[in-house]
A and B are shown apart, each in its own frame.
Chain A
């Protein structure tokens, strides 16, 4: 169906002052905000705003496997369901899940699985639901990042967190954290995730062209930027407990006051 405004890309992805279209330097991240415990019904949940991306992730589990034949006798099952809201993209997305969503669900599940001690939970399942309600490039990386946070919030034992982001090439220059426009109009897109307990790569895709030297530079660029993402994840987790601590102290003080009166 035609839209009145066309989804067109600008010719240049750099402004005259050398900055990117949204005013960032080549190795600058978009603003990132993360919060845990946002959905009360879930065992664990997290919300992330990464540039214009807005993503919820929740974790239910360990719980009974449904349908039952998927259960494994020797270990738990991790299932990830990545979905996009119809209004999260420029052209309205069809409500039913498509091939892209199924592929990303699988990739995210494969990326997170090494972090968990699934062998401790035979016959059960962990279900991670990811809902992208606003998308602007790099949603698979942002989803991985927020899913790891939701698992941690659920109190599920993990070896470490995992952080992900996309590096890429636009107008011949290497940049980190591609925005929606840069992703579509750029020359190369390279999503990477690092699991921090062994600092190894657990999600890797590439579309575009690069020589060997460029690949090496991309990997270093990504690792440096991911350290910042990891810090933000850790702070989001901590801030939940700092808030709890402050509330407990406040309640205690109030109770003491009442006692004095």
Chain B
């Protein structure tokens, strides 16, 4: 069993902080280094797309389901994509059963906003018939093991899930007022355009570092998550009691674009496009 506690001793906190001051991490990483990503796509047979993403020991399984429903009156020709997250009690003794708590809602919201504001999901392609029928996509994240930084792992998981999608393609039958199957599938090629990556940084005292592990997350004063596309920042979330000065935010902005580019190339998520036509 891994050592998981809600409270970290002062001596361990001091050890983490003194290491960070020397630009070292307790797991041997540099300040701007990610743990290793491992990605498997389309692992769930019952889902219309899925991803099993590990970031170090953090593991999240994400699945896609769809429904056909009526569009919102103000967006009659656009489908809907919603993101949900569950911090399963299997994942950590820190997680309890019951309705979603703040942490799981924040995870879902930050990942959702990263995707929503980046022109990622092509909601117009999710329209079957204006005013009558659109797709409603559910991207549901399940945390299997919690070892820090759920947001970045969840972001990659949600993105890979959408890319691996294979949703039955619908055609509107105007006489019967129902949606019928064309025999083909909508894939990530149609649904997904921009690929947003979200990067989370922890802050302890005046030190900032990428991808906090669980002990770092438990002792840090606060975190900031920045979503980026190829060359734009699309979403920011600061959480915890830490404060960031303006120069730090500017630095993190350019750092995120730089790390985002690297991640985009290394993970090459488009390789997970579904083959089904």
- Distance (Å) between the CB of B264 and the closest chain A CB? 26
How many of chain A's residues touch chain B, expressed as a range? 35 or more
Q: How far is the CA of A1 from the CA of B69 in the complex (A)?
A: 7
Residues in chain B near residue A1, CB distance under 8 A? 67-69, 136
Q: How far is the CA of A63 from the CA of B97 in the complex (A)?
A: 15
Between-chain CB contacts (< 8 Å), 9 pairs: A3-B66, A4-B179, A41-B4, A86-B63, A86-B138, A87-B46, A87-B50, A89-B46, A134-B43
- Name B's A-contacting residues (CB within 8 A): 1-2, 4, 43-48, 50, 57, 61, 63-69, 84, 86, 88-93, 96-97, 99, 136, 138, 140, 142, 144-147, 168-170, 178-181
Instruction: Tell me if A52 counts as interface (CB < 8 A to partner B).
Output: yes
Contact A88 B90 (CB under 8 A): no
Contact B1 A81 (CB under 8 A): no
Contact A41 B2 (CB under 8 A): yes
- Name A's B-contacting residues (CB within 8 A): 1-5, 39-43, 45, 52, 54, 56-58, 60, 63, 66, 81, 83, 85-90, 92, 95-96, 127, 129, 131, 133-136
Counting chain A CB atoms within 10 Å of each CB, which of B1, B67, B97 scores highest? B1
Task: Pick the 10 closest A-B CB pairs, nearest first.
Answer: A87-B63, A92-B65, A1-B67, A87-B47, A58-B90, A4-B168, A129-B90, A52-B45, A86-B140, A4-B170
| A58 to B, closest residue via Cβ | B90
Residue B64 contacts which of A5, A66, A87 (CB distance < 8 angstroms)?
A87
- Distance (Å) between the CB of B36 and the closest chain A CB? 15
Q: How far is the CA of A42 from the CA of B2 in the complex (A)?
A: 8
Residues in chain A near residue B168, CB distance under 8 A? 3-5
Given contacts A3-B67, A87-B47, A136-B45, contact A39 B145 (CB under 8 A): yes
Contact B146 A131 (CB under 8 A): no
Q: How far is the CA of A8 from the CA of B68 in the complex (A)?
A: 18
| B99 to A, closest residue via Cβ | A96
- Distance (Å) between the CB of A204 and the closest chain B CB? 27
Contact B144 A3 (CB under 8 A): no
Given contacts A1-B68, A41-B146, A95-B86, contact A87 B180 (CB under 8 A): no
Q: How far is the CA of A54 from the CA of B44 in the complex (A)?
A: 8
Q: How far is the CA of A197 from the CA of B170 in the complex (A)?
A: 54
Contact B89 A127 (CB under 8 A): yes
Contact B89 A129 (CB under 8 A): yes
Residue B178 contacts which of A2, A83, A86, A133 (CB distance < 8 angstroms)?
A2
Contact A85 B140 (CB under 8 A): yes
Residue B88 contacts which of A5, A40, A131, A135 (CB distance < 8 angstroms)?
A131
Given contacts A41-B4, A81-B89, contact A134 B67 (CB under 8 A): no
